Amino acid sequence: MTPRDYPLDPYWMPFTANRAFKAGPRLFVGAKDMHYVTEDGRKVLDGTSGLWCVNAGHCRPKIVEAIQKQAAAMDYSPAFQMGHPGAFRVAERVAKLAPGDLNRVFYTNSGSEAVDTALKIALAYHRARGDGQRNVLVGRERGYHGAGFGGISVGGMPANRRAFGSLLPRVDHLAHTHNLEHNAFSRGQPAWGAHLADELESRIIPLHDASNIAAVIVEPMAGSAGVLIPPKGYLERLRAICDKHGLLLIFDEVITGFGRLGTCFAADAVGVVPDMITIAKGLTNGTVPMGAVIARQGLYDAIVNSAPPGTIELFHGYTYSGHPLATAAAEASLDLFEEEQLFRRAQELAPYFQEAVHSLREMPYVVDIRNMGMVAAIELEPRPGKPGERAFKTFLKCYENGALIRTTGDIIALSPPFIISKQQIDELMGTLGNALREVGRE
Ligand SMILES: Cc1ncc(COP(=O)(O)O)c(C=O)c1O
């Protein structure tokens, strides 16, 4: 390996143990299809689609060329009071893919911004209808909705909130649905747990009064907090309660959007139509930062039509909303998903992936394995007094031995690109199994 000609200190890395990383850095310098290449030239099988985003695999020529072409043709176009064709074309295609009458697309640059945007749209919608007292937002424990103040307020990951003061006021949280006693080793959606949605009606609505609640936001499948699979019937019940009391339902599909569960959206997989969907990640196959909110037409109409003609209707947006490079990447990604029928491929591969991951059940300290579509989690019993250490050591061993996995606490998450072959699934499980065995002996 050639010595690095740059220092590691100035870069303050996100969601990273900076000191440990800089003492033993792990750097990628290349990527192609199912693999990363490390700075010392090793190939690493990508078991996580980067960070749940590279659904079609890495450096796909169609996407690369579209970005290159767009960069040369028009680098930037102002997002406010000006437009460019790609932004309209992508919105049309996303609207067509979305369920029900979710057909209005507001661009952001990340999942975090998409979440904050959705929360703001929910508040603005109620206000536009003369219902402005509806400003309570309801999230869920162990929810991850990005790192903005809105997202961490409705989110339910204690470590992400601890250092940052009082956050948004008027937020409440549903209980999460993960329960090892009832649901361990479920294949697909667990049978137990739909009743947990009833807490919205039995506790949260009486506490705040329905007339004060704006929206409920959940990840249909919670990814970052450790792959929490929705119990059968749970999301349906949330929808029914929201409808009954006039609450908007937001699905955060930043991870589940674009095929992860074998359908374009998780909403399609469970047959529930929310009022808004937040997306990012897979929209551009991870290549150029881009997110969006897809809203029901009624939300758009209520906000837009309540403003005087000729005036700005929603005072919100970003310099890079609908950036030309991002829309070029999104168009090419959507083309590729379609041409290669990648959502269907994810669906067809899911049963094989399921059996492969459940084959790790007898590995040391495994207390649960769960999966849905092309996502799976292996939960380990924490080492006494050292939560997270066992999983992180497994992550490091896998990396040394040529596979990228992801960990949250003692939960290992797998979410490979949909182009993975069965042989590569076996390889991933083989490397992970060996790492679990080795770490289990320590
Ligand atoms: C469900 C969900 N929402 C929001 C986000 C935040 O997205 P970003 O990191 O692009 O801001 C993530 C990121 O993992 C996510 O999983």
Q: Express each pLDDT in 348-404 by its tens digit.
A: 999 999 999 999 999 999 999 999 999 999 999 999 999 999 999 999 999 999 999
- Per residue in 16-58, pLDDT tens? 999 999 999 999 999 999 999 999 999 999 999 999 999 999 9
352 closest CA partner among 416, 433, 437 = 416
Interval 414-423 mean pLDDT: 98
With a cut of 90, say whether residue 265 has pLDDT above it.
yes
Residue of 15, 49, 112, 276 to test ligand 1 pocket, by largest number of atoms within 8 Å of CB: 112
Q: What is the DSSP letter of 274?
A: -
Whether the Cβ atoms of residue 98 and residue 263 lie closer than 8 Å to each other: no
φ and ψ at 248, to 5 degrees? -80, 145
| Three-point CA angle 269, 271, 273, nearest 5° | 115
Interval 197-204 mean pLDDT: 98
Instruction: Tell me how far apart the terminal alpha carbons of the chain are, to the nearest angstrom.
Output: 30
Interval between CA 114 and ligand 1 midpoint (Å): 9
CA distance 53 to 64: 15
CA distance 339 to 295: 26
With a cut of 90, say whether residue 287 has pLDDT above it.
yes
CA distance 288 to 109: 9
With a cut of 70, say whether residue 171 has pLDDT above it.
yes
φ and ψ at 150, to 5 degrees? -65, -45
Q: Can you list the alpha helix ranges (DSSP code H) found in 100-179?
A: 111-128, 149-154, 158-161
CA distance 420 to 10: 36
Contacts (Cβ under 8 Å, ≥6 apart) of 439: 364, 390, 393, 394, 397
- Per residue in 400-417, pLDDT tens? 999 999 999 999 999 999
Q: Which strand ranges, in their side-by-side order, compose the sheet holding 28-32?
A: 28-32, 35-38, 43-46, 403-404
- The per-residue pLDDT for 324 is 98
Interval between CA 224 and ligand 1 midpoint (Å): 8
Residue of 49, 254, 285, 375 to test ligand 1 pocket, by largest number of atoms within 8 Å of CB: 254
Query: Atom 8, ligand 1: which residue's CA is nearest?
Result: 111
In short, whether 224's Cβ falls inside 6 Å of ligand 1 is: yes
Q: How far is CA 208 from CA 203, 244, 439, in A?
A: 9, 15, 47
pLDDT category, 2, cuts 50, 70, 90? low
pLDDT category, 271, cuts 50, 70, 90? very high
- Per residue in 319-339, pLDDT tens? 999 999 999 999 999 999 999
Q: How far is CA 125 from CA 153, 167, 246, 367, in A?
A: 20, 22, 12, 44
In short, whether 146's Cβ falls inside 6 Å of ligand 1 is: yes
- The per-residue pLDDT for 299 is 98
CA distance 372 to 354: 8
- Per residue in 205-238, pLDDT tens? 999 999 999 999 999 999 999 999 999 999 999 9
Element holding 299 (H helix, E strand) = helix 297-305
Interval 125-135 mean pLDDT: 98
Query: Atom 12, ligand 1: which residue's CA is nearest?
Result: 146
- The per-residue pLDDT for 190 is 98
φ and ψ at 436, to 5 degrees? -60, -40
Interval between CA 293 and ligand 1 midpoint (Å): 13
pLDDT category, 1, cuts 50, 70, 90? low
229 closest CA partner among 333, 119, 357 = 357
Whether the Cβ atoms of residue 323 and residue 287 lie closer than 8 Å to each other: no
In short, whether 108's Cβ falls inside 6 Å of ligand 1 is: no
With a cut of 90, say whether residue 67 has pLDDT above it.
yes
- The per-residue pLDDT for 3 is 75
CA-289 nearest atom, ligand 1 = 10
CA-51 nearest atom, ligand 1 = 14
Tokens of 280: 């990012």
Q: How far is CA 412 from CA 163, 263, 358, 380, 405, in A?
A: 25, 23, 13, 8, 7
In short, whether 145's Cβ falls inside 6 Å of ligand 1 is: yes
Residue of 116, 153, 255, 261 to test ligand 1 pocket, by largest number of atoms within 8 Å of CB: 255
In short, whether 258's Cβ falls inside 6 Å of ligand 1 is: no
Q: Is 76 left (phi over 0), alpha (psi -120 to 50) or beta?
A: beta
Interval between CA 113 and ligand 1 midpoint (Å): 9
State the chain's mean pLDDT as an integer: 97
Element holding 402 (H helix, E strand) = none
pLDDT category, 439, cuts 50, 70, 90? very high
In short, whether 392's Cβ falls inside 6 Å of ligand 1 is: no
Whether the Cβ atoms of residue 322 and residue 284 lie closer than 8 Å to each other: no
Interval between CA 279 and ligand 1 midpoint (Å): 9
Percent above pLDDT 90 for the chain = 99
In short, whether 223's Cβ falls inside 6 Å of ligand 1 is: yes
Provide the 10 A C-beta neighbour count for residue 132. 12
Q: Can you list the alpha helix ranges (DSSP code H) found in 24-171?
A: 49-52, 61-73, 85-97, 111-128, 149-154, 158-161
- The per-residue pLDDT for 4 is 86
Contacts (Cβ under 8 Å, ≥6 apart) of 108: 114, 116, 117, 280, 290, 291, 292, 293, 318, 321
In short, whether 253's Cβ falls inside 6 Å of ligand 1 is: no
In short, whether 36's Cβ falls inside 6 Å of ligand 1 is: no
With a cut of 80, say whether residue 310 has pLDDT above it.
yes
In short, whether 109's Cβ falls inside 6 Å of ligand 1 is: no
In short, whether 254's Cβ falls inside 6 Å of ligand 1 is: yes
